[in-house]
Structure 1
Amino acid sequence: MKTIVYSQTGPSSVLRLVDRPLPEPGPGEVRLRVVVSGVNPTDWKSRSGATSSLAFPEATPNQDGAGVVDAVGPGVEDLAVGDRVWTCMAAQGRPTGTAQEHTVLPADRVTRLPDGVSFDVGASLGVPAVTAHRALTVAEDGPSRLAPGALAGRTVLVAGGAGAVGNAAIQLARWAGATVVTTVSSPTKADLARAAGAHHVVNYREGDPAAAVREVAPDGVDLVVEVAPAQNAALDLQVVRPRASIAVYANNGGDEVRLDVRPNMVTNARWQFILMYTMGAQALAAAAQDVTAALRDGAFGVGEEHGLPLTRFALADTAAAHDAVEDGVVGKVLIDVG
C-alpha cells in the first residue's frame, strides 16, 4: 500500500511516499481503507518536532480521516466490514496516521458515518469538532452533552469563527439552540462565519468589539470559545456574564496570558483549557456521539457554503498539504487518498 512516512522530525521535506505491507488488525482493532485524510495544525506541529519528539522509528502523519472498514480484529463487535466511518486521534500514541491507503486503529477511535454524510465531512471532524464539542460543554451552568435545545437561551461567543474549530463551534452551538456571536478579522471571514450559521458577526479590527458584543448580549455571554487568549483576555472579561466559562483551545497570538484577579473573581469566571489528547475517554466518547447526532440531523457541513472552504491535495503531495496548513490557509485541507 502507498503511505506517507517520516523517520525524523523537521520541515515538510522529511515526508516521503513509500510502499509498505498491508497491515492486519489485532484484537480490538479495525483496518480502515482511507478515502480522505484531514490535516490539522497539530499534524504539522508534531511532524516538525514543535510539540513532541518522534516516538517511533517511522511514523505516518495525520490524526483525522474517513473511509471504509475493510477488516476487523478479534473482539470487535460494534463495527463490520463495509461500514463507512470517521476517525480522530489516529496517530495518537501510534505510528499509523491517516496519510496512507490503509490504517489500523483501535475500534474506539472509529465512529460510523450516518447515511448520506460524505467522506469530506467525515475527514473534517476529528480534531476541530471534538475540540469544539468540549469547549461547548464545560460551562458551570451549562450542559455536559449537546443536543437540540441543550444551549437554548444561552449566548456563545466564538473567537475566530472562520477557523476550523470556530466553524465547528458555530455549527454545533447553533444546532444546540444557542445564540452565536463570533469575532473575525475581515469581511471575507465574516461571510464565512455567517455561512457557518453565526447569528451576529463582529469584526474585531473595527470600532469597539466589546460594545458590539454587549449590544447583542447586554447581560453578557454565557460561554467563550477562545482561540487567542493572550490577545483576547481583556475583551472576554468585558463581555462575559457571571459564572461564564472561557474555553481556551489554542494559543494564537502568544503563549502567555495575564489575568487580573479582581475582574475574574467578581464574575466567578472559569478559564478552562482544552487539549483533545488529554481530555479523557468519557469526554471523547460523548463528543463522538453528539457530533454524529448533529450529522444525522443535517446540522454539520463543509465547503464554502458552510463557511469552511476546502483545499485538496493528492496523497503524494502531503508535504504541500502540511505547508498549506502551516501557512494559515483559510478553511480545511483534505488529502484524497482512496
Structure 2
Amino acid sequence: MRAIGYSAFGAAADVLALHDIGVPEPAAGEVRVKLVYSGVNPSDAKARSGTRPGVLRPPFDLVVPHSDGSGVIDAVGAGVAPARIGERVWIWNGQWQRAFGSAAESICLPSAQAVALPDGVSFEAGAALGIPGLTAAHAVFGGGNISGQTLLISGGAGAVGHNAVQLAKWGGATVIATASPRAFERVKAAGADHVLDYRADDLAAQIMAITEGKGIDRAVEPEFGANAGLLAEVMRANGTIAAYGSQLDMSPTLPFGPFLFKAITIDIVLIYILDPAPRAAAIDKLHAALSACALHPAIHEIMPLEDAAKAHERVMSAGRNGAVLLEI
C-alpha cells in the first residue's frame, strides 16, 4: 500500500517520501481502517523536524506520520465484533508512540481509537476531530458545565481556537476571543460574542470592561507563557486556565502573587495522554455538538497524499484557517 514516511529528521521536502509497504493486519483487539483522509497537525511537523529536546533520531526505522484521520473499518482482529466492518470512523492517536500513523492507505489500531462517525458527519470533518477537536472539547468542558460562565479563548482563528469558540457558545457561555483584525469576522461567525485584537495595549482593560470587572471564569490558552501576565489580570478568583501550548515561551516566569491570591487553577492539556473517562466525555461533547449542527470543523486545504511535504509546510504557516488534510 502507499504510505508517506521518513527515516531521518529534517525539512519536510528532504525527508518525507512515498513508500510501498505491506497492508497491515489487525492484531487481537484491533481494527483496520481503510483511510479516506489523514489530518496533518503542527505536532506532526514538529516531530518530523526533530526539534524536540533530547530526541536525536526517529524512534523507528520508518515513521508513517499523523495521528488523525477518517475512513471505513475493513477488517477486525480477534475479540472485536465483526459488525464493526463497514463502519465509518474517525481515529485518534494514530501515530502516538507507534511507527505507523494515518499518512497511508490503511492503519491498524486498538478498536477504541476508531470512533464511529455520527450520521451526516463527513469524512473531512472526521479527520479534523482528533487533535484539534478533542483539545478544544476538553479545554472548554474539562471543568464541567460552562453555561452562564464567561470564557476567554485566545487564538480564536486557529484550528483549536475556532472549534473552542463554537463549542463554548453551544455550551451556553459568553465567549470573548482574541484574534488578528483580519480574522475578526470569521471568529464572530463561529459564535464569539466579543472579538478583540490580541496585540492591543489595553487588552486586559477591554476584557475587564466586558465582564463588568468580574473577570474570566475559564481561559482556553495556546500561548500560556506569553499571556501569563494578561491572565493574572483578567482571571476571576478561583478561575481556571486550560493551557494547551506555550511555544513562544516554554520556560515562563509566572506572576505568582496574583495567581496565588486569586487561587487560579492551571490545567495543562495534553490530549495524547488524556485518561479514558475525560476522553470519552470530550468525544461525547464533540458528537453532541456535531449532531446539533453547532460544530463545523474548518478545513483550510485538502491535498493528495503525495503532497505530504507541502501539507507539513502549510500547517506551520501563518494565516491558516482550519485543518490541513491529505486525501488518500
Native 8 Å contact 2:224 2:246 kept in 1: yes
Is the 8 Å Cα contact of residues 228 and 255 (structure 2) preserved in structure 1? no
Which stretch shows the higher mean deviation, 280-289 or 195-204?
280-289
Q: Which residue of 2 aligns with 1:191?
A: 185
SS at 1:238 equivalent: helix
SS in 1 for 2:60: coil
Match of 2:279?
284
Change (3 A) 1:71 1:78: closer
Determine the C-alpha separation between the residues in 1 that align with 2:75 and 2:92. 18
Aligned to 1:201: 195
1:3 Cα deviation after fit: 0.7
1:315 aligns with 2:305: yes
- What are the equivalent positions in structure 2 for 1:203-218 lying under 5 Å apart? 203-218=197-212
Aligned pairs (5 A) from 1:33-182: 33-51=34-52, 52=55, 53-77=57-81, 80-139=84-143, 143=144, 150-182=145-177
Measured on the aligned residues, the alpha-carbon RMSD in Å equals: 1.6
Q: CA deviation at 1:161?
A: 0.3
CA distance in structure 2 between the partners assigned to 1:38 and 1:255 by the alignment: 26
Q: Could you tell me how far apart the structure 1 residues matched to 2:210 and 2:78 are? A: 54
Q: CA–CA distance in 2 between the matches of 1:68 and 1:336?
A: 16
Match in the other structure for 1:20: 21
Post-superposition offset of 1:49: 1.7
Deviation by residue 1:222-279 (Cα, 9 ceiling, x = unmatched): 0001111222111111111110011111113221211122211111111111111222
User: Of 251, 264, 277, which residue of structure 2 is paired with 1:256?
Assistant: 251
Change (3 A) 1:287 1:266: same
Q: SS at the partner of 1:252?
A: coil
Give the Å deviation of 1:336: 3.6
Range with bigger deviation, 86-95 or 76-85: 76-85
Alpha-carbon offset, residue 138 of structure 1: 4.0
Give distance in 2, aligned partners of 1:116 and 1:327: 31
The 8 Å contact of residues 123 and 334 in structure 1, kept in 2 or not, is answered as no
Mapped partners of 1:298, 1:59: distance in 2: 36
**After TM superposition, where is structure 1 displaced by more than 6 Å over at least 4 residues in a row?**
none
Q: Once the two structures are superposed, what CA deviation does each residue of 1:285-323 show, in whole Å capped at 9, x if it has no partner?
A: 222222122211211113xxxxx3511211000011001
TM-score by length of 1: 0.91
| 1:11 corresponds to 2:11 | yes
Equivalent residue, structure 2, for 1:147: none
Counterpart position of 2:222:
227
- 1:240-255 paired onto structure 2 within 5 Å: 240-255=235-250
Give the unaligned 5+ runs of structure 2: none
Q: Give 3-state SS (helix, strand or coil) of 1:136's partner.
A: helix
Are 1:325 and 2:315 matched, yes or no?
A: yes
Report the secondary structure of 1:300's partner residue. coil
Q: How many residues align?
A: 323
Partner Cα separation in structure 1 for residue 78 and residue 170 of structure 2: 37
Deviations 1:31-57 (A, max 9, x none): 111111111111011111223552211
Give ranges in structure 1 of 5+ residues lacking alignment.
144-149, 303-307
Distance in structure 1 (CA, Å) of the matches to 2:319 and 2:92: 21
Of residues 243-252 and 289-298 in structure 1, the stretch that sits farther from structure 2 once superposed is: 289-298
Q: Is the 8 A contact 1:88 1:127 kept in 2?
A: yes
Alpha-carbon distance, 1:178 to partner: 1.0
CA contact (8 A) 1:39 1:332 kept: no
> Residue 79 and residue 254 in structure 1: after superposition, are their counterparts in 2 closer, same or farther (change >3 A)?
farther
Equivalent position amino acid for 1:15 in 2: L
> Equivalent residue of 2:199, what SS?
coil
Q: Please give the per-residue CA displacement for 1:78-127, whole angstroms capped at 9, x wherever unaligned.
A: 96111111111100111111111111111111111111111111111110
